[in-house]
Amino acid sequence: MNQRLNGLRQKMTEAGIDALLISQQKDRRYLSGFSSTAGYLIISQDDAILALDSRYVEWARQDASPTSEISIINTKGEIHNWLPDIISGMGISKLGFDDTGITYSTYSKMNIALDSVEKAVELVATGDMVTGLRTIKDAQELESMQKAAAVADASFESMNQQIKIGMSEKELAWLLERILRENGSGSVPFGIIVASGPNSAFPHHSNSDRVIAPGDPIIIDFGARIDGYGSDTTRTLCLGEPGDKYKEIYDIVLKSQIAAIDKIESGMTGHQADGIARNVIADAGYGQYFLHALGHGTGLVVHEEPKLGEKSEDILQNGMVFTIEPGIYIPGWGGVRIEDMVVLEKGKTRLLTHVSK
């Protein structure tokens, strides 16, 4: 945790702020080890203060990382009631805040708070400064993500033994979710997608009562969550005899995905990585049907940095965990997507998810 705090402090110095008010749950959890739905973390070069209301204080004393230097205060009332004391105590003049993570109402209360501080303090909108730090996973995070991927792998295999023609998309999604939970996953990181037949032409289909028929392409996008960290896998399968179209499309998507897994290297930009997979699909004549980016970082949040897409300048680096998920979606027919989660290590990708393709 202290290493994470120090990384942030360096970025704060570069941004020219003396302290940062952290308001988003994922960032609070990443820096303090404590996961409450409410509260703030205030970081300066010398202090790290977790500001929580009385529902959380005792819990945090037990749970916030024991190696961490974080102190806990019990906030009484809303932010303008307790923030002035903290600011005065820190003697700062520039307070950063994440303008992507607070409401206008909270912002107004912060302004009231600063008016009552004797020394003038400037509020500086910084965006989410923690997101960038979270892209490189440390050993502890990687372990949680490997566990989540393993639970997802095993759960999909047992679902595969039970899947039947005649089940609805909703039934199948629930079957897989139940197995994931029974295998130790926390609440699933995102709603499982089951898209069958023509519905599989929509990359983010919302599960329906449609009953699965022989020969349908069935896209299943799912994940497990361990210690807050989510996994993300997609498989496309077919019950009964697959048609020629299905075989053709499946092979192109698989070829595209394998090319990306093999050729992506650290130092590439997100758009170079995307291009590896996109070229395979375009060369096969289906470029216009690959409707989304190749992949995204994943961790405490299912979609986080880096982005692997046509316009992404993000630089892929060792320690990043992201998905590789090309797809082809043909209106009226259906679609195929194949997604795995990888970590970049020693310049190359290593698969974290292993379900058979």
Contact call for residues 238 and 216 (beta carbons, < 8 A)? yes
Positions in 48-87 near Co ion (CB under 5 A): none
Positions in 99-118 near Co ion (CB under 5 A): none
Positions in 216-275 near Co ion (CB under 5 A): 232
> Measured from the CB atom, is 232 or 305 closer to Co ion?
232
Q: Specify the stretch interacting with Co ion by CB under 5 A; choose among 49-57, 67-75, 252-260, 323-331.
A: 323-331
Dig out the tokens for 159 from the structure. 């679902």
Q: How far is the CB of 326 from Co ion (least distance, A)?
A: 11
DSSP class per residue in 67-135: TS--EEEE--SSHHHHHHHHHHHHT-SEEEE-TTSS-HHHHHHHHHHHHTSSS--EEEE---HHHHHHT
Positions in 15-44 near Co ion (CB under 5 A): none
Reduced to 3 states (helix: H, G, I; strand: E, B; else coil), residue 55 is coil
> Measured from the CB atom, is 216 or 232 closer to Co ion?
232
Q: Specify the stretch interacting with Co ion by CB under 5 A; choose among 34-42, 121-129, 172-180, 315-323.
A: 315-323
> Partners of 72 in the beta sheet?
50
Q: How far is the CB of 295 from Co ion (least distance, A)?
A: 7
> Measured from the CB atom, is 48 or 193 closer to Co ion?
193
Positions in 126-165 near Co ion (CB under 5 A): none
- Round to whole Å and give the CA distance between 26 and 212: 37
- Residue number with the shortest CB distance to Co ion? 232
Q: Specify the stretch interacting with Co ion by CB under 5 A; choose among 59-67, 114-122, 258-266, 320-328.
A: 320-328
How many residues bind Co ion (CB under 5 A)? The answer is: 2
- Round to whole Å and give the CA distance between 147 and 134: 18
> Measured from the CB atom, is 256 or 323 closer to Co ion?
323
Strands (E), the chain: 19-22, 40-44, 48-52, 71-74, 94-97, 122-125, 193-196, 218-222, 225-226, 229-230, 233-237, 295-297, 304-308, 321-324, 327-330, 334-337, 340-345, 348-351
Contact call for residues 335 and 193 (beta carbons, < 8 A)? no
> Measured from the CB atom, is 230 or 334 closer to Co ion?
230
Q: How far is the CB of 305 from Co ion (least distance, A)?
A: 14
- Round to whole Å and give the CA distance between 192 and 214: 21
> Measured from the CB atom, is 232 or 274 closer to Co ion?
232
User: Which residue has tokens 């290593």?
Assistant: 350
β-strand pairing of 218-222 with 94-97 = unpaired
The reply on whether position 314 binds Co ion by CB under 5 A is: no
Q: Specify the stretch interacting with Co ion by CB under 5 A; choose among 37-45, 111-119, 266-274, 321-329.
A: 321-329
How many whole angstroms from its chain centre is CA 241?
Answer: 36
- Round to whole Å and give the CA distance between 257 and 276: 9
> Measured from the CB atom, is 36 or 298 closer to Co ion?
298
Q: How far is the CB of 297 from Co ion (least distance, A)?
A: 10
- Round to whole Å and give the CA distance between 207 and 218: 11
> Measured from the CB atom, is 18 or 221 closer to Co ion?
221
Q: How far is the CB of 190 from Co ion (least distance, A)?
A: 8
Q: How far is the CB of 156 from Co ion (least distance, A)?
A: 15
Q: Specify the stretch interacting with Co ion by CB under 5 A; choose among 65-73, 163-171, 317-325, 343-351.
A: 317-325
Q: How far is the CB of 173 from Co ion (least distance, A)?
A: 16
Running DSSP on this structure, what letter comes out for residue 197? G
The reply on whether position 323 binds Co ion by CB under 5 A is: yes
> Measured from the CB atom, is 28 or 278 closer to Co ion?
278
Cα separation of the two ends of the chain: 38
Q: Which residues contact Co ion by CB under 5 A?
A: 232, 323
